[in-house]
Amino acid sequence: MASIWRYILAGLGLAALLVGIVAAVYLMLPQPAPAPDISRSKSTANGLFVASFEPERGVIRQGELQSWLLTLKTAAGAPVEGAAITVSGGMPQHDHGLPTSPQATDYLGDGRYRIDGIKFTMSGWWQLRFAISAAVGSDSVVFNIVL
Amino acid sequence: MRRLTSVACLLALAALALLGGCGEPQFNDAEKKTIASLALNTLPSLKPDTTNQYADAPAAAALGSTLFFDVGMSRDGTVSCSTCHKIDRQFQDDLPQAVGVGRTNRRTMPLAGVARNPWFFWDGRRDSLWAQALTPLENPLEQAGNRAAFAHYIEKRFGERYERIFGPLPDLSTVPANASPLGTDAEKAAWNAMSAAQQDDVNRVYANIGKAIAAFERSIEPQQTRFDRFAIDLATGAKPEGDAAFSPEEILGLKLFIGKANCVSCHNGPRFTDNAFHNTGVPPADGLPPDRGRVDAVAQVQADPFNCFGKFRDGDESACRELRFMVKDGPQIMRAYKTPSLRGAADRPPYMHAGQFATLDEVMAHYSKAPPSVEGGSEVHPLDLSERERAALVAFVKTLSD
Domain ranges for chain B, please list them.
Answer: 26-43+224-292+334-398, 58-217
How far apart (Å, rounded) are the C-alpha atoms in residues B385 and B366?
10
pLDDT of residue A93: 86
Amino acid at B381: H
Handedness of CA B99, B101, B103, B104 (dihedral sign): negative
Q: Is B7 on the interface with A (CB under 8 A)?
A: yes
- Residue B22 backbone dihedrals phi, psi, to 5 degrees: -50, -55
Residue of chain B whose alpha carbon sits nearest to that of A87: B325
How far apart (Å, rounded) are the C-alpha atoms in residues B72 and B103?
19
Contact B325 A100 (CB under 8 A): yes
The one-digit pLDDT tens for each residue of chain B (402 residues) are 455 555 454 455 445 444 444 444 689 999 999 999 999 999 999 999 999 999 999 999 999 999 999 999 999 999 999 999 999 999 999 999 999 999 999 999 999 999 999 999 999 999 999 999 999 999 999 999 999 999 999 999 999 999 999 999 999 999 999 999 999 999 999 999 999 999 999 999 999 999 999 999 999 999 999 999 999 999 999 998 898 999 999 999 999 999 999 999 999 999 999 999 999 999 999 999 999 999 999 999 999 999 999 999 999 999 999 999 999 999 999 999 999 999 999 999 999 999 999 999 999 999 999 999 999 999 999 999 999 999 999 999 999 998
Q: Is A54 on the interface with B (CB under 8 A)?
A: no
Helix, coil or strand: residue B120: strand
Structurally, at CATH architecture level, domain B26-43+224-292+334-398 sits in: Orthogonal Bundle (1.10)
Angle between helices A2-28 and B2-20 (to 10 degrees): 20
Integer angstrom CA distances of residue B372 from A98, B335, B352, B385:
21, 12, 16, 17
Q: Is B15 on the interface with A (CB under 8 A)?
A: yes
Cβ atoms B321, A65 nearer than 8 A = yes
- Looking at the domain B58-217, which fold is it? Cytochrome Bc1 Complex; Chain D, domain 2 (1.10.760)
Chain B residues 243-302 with CB within 8 Å of chain A:
264-266, 268-269, 274-278
Amino acid at A126: W
Contact B322 A65 (CB under 8 A): yes
pTM above 0.95, yes or no: no
pLDDT of residue A129: 98
- Residue B150 backbone dihedrals phi, psi, to 5 degrees: -65, -40
Integer angstrom CA distances of residue B305 from B190, B308, B311, B313:
19, 9, 8, 10
> Residue B328's closest CA among A95, A91, A103?
A103
Q: List the beta bridge partners of residue A126.
A: A145
Q: Is B123 left (phi over 0), alpha (psi -120 to 50) or beta?
A: alpha
ipTM of the complex: 0.87
How far apart (Å, rounded) are the C-alpha atoms in residues B214 and B198?
24
Structurally, at CATH architecture level, domain A41-146 sits in: Sandwich (2.60)
- Residue B210 backbone dihedrals phi, psi, to 5 degrees: -60, -40
Q: Is B328 on the interface with A (CB under 8 A)?
A: yes
How far apart (Å, rounded) are the C-alpha atoms in residues A104 and A98?
15
Q: Cα distance from A99 to chain B (closest Cα, Å)?
A: 7
Integer angstrom CA distances of residue B25 from B15, B33, B200, B236, B249:
17, 14, 64, 14, 16
How far apart (Å, rounded) are the C-alpha atoms in residues B333 and A65?
19
The HSE-up count of residue B131 (CA atoms within 13 Å, CB side) is 27
